[in-house]
Amino acid sequence: QLERKLAALEGTEACIAFASGMAAIWALFSRLLTSGDHIVMSDVTYAAASELANDTLPDLGIEVTRTDTSDLDGLRKALRPNTRLLYLETPANPLLRLTDIGAAAKVAHEVGVPVAVDSTFATPIALRPVEHGADYVIHSLTKYICGHGDALGGAICGSQADLDRL
């Protein structure tokens, strides 16, 4: 029921719920990336996502480039032939910096790179990233979607085909 409601809120075909937001992010990274792959990621993200990028992924042989994703020229330069994912967080926690999802997704899709957006801070009330070209939408349900600070959860929303890949 939760997955169906979240998919309806985000306007996606499907959703997978997880035990926490970090579990959702880790599921995405560990299923889409393998040794020798490269990820481009916002240089400002939730602290535990930054720990994954700075420590865990390099330990697994996954290359990480962190860049200001609101700077499209910098973003274009960061993409490589082995880039498998562009990971955005907008508004970014904690700076609330915004990335133009549509413009960033256009740059990534031109070179065949899928785009994930951590939309925890916006919630589907303010923003539906797939309407702007995102392929995966991540939520920590622990935050605003829970609303009362009394439950942990996470989610990935997207197309059935993309979620079947996870």
Ligand X SMILES: *Cc1c(COP(=O)(O)O)cnc(C)c1O
Q: Which is nearer to ligand X, 89 or 162 (CB)?
A: 89
116 forms beta bridges with: 87, 136
Spatial CA neighbour of 109 closest among 78, 137, 86, 82: 86
Contact 114, 87 (CB under 8 A): no
Of 142, 145, 155, 163, the residue at the interface with ligand X (CB under 6 A) is 142
Please pick, from the candidates 68, 100, 143, 166, the single residue that binds ligand X as defined by CB under 6 A.
143
Q: Which stretch binds ligand X (CB under 6 A): 2-10, 15-23, 27-35, 99-107?
A: 15-23
The yes or no reply on residue 129 touching ligand X (CB under 6 A) is: no
- 108 touches 114 (CB < 8 A): yes
Which of 70, 108, 120, 163 contacts ligand X by CB under 6 A?
Answer: 120
Altogether, the residues listed in the chain come to a count of 166
Site residues (CB under 6 A) for ligand X, limited to 35-74: 46, 49
* Closest-CA residue to 89 (of 37, 50, 63): 50
* Cα–Cα dist 150/126, whole Å: 22
Q: Does 93 bind ligand X (CB under 6 A)?
A: yes
Give contact residues for ligand X (rule: CB under 6 A). Answer: 20-22, 46, 49, 89, 93, 118, 120-121, 140, 142-143, 152, 154
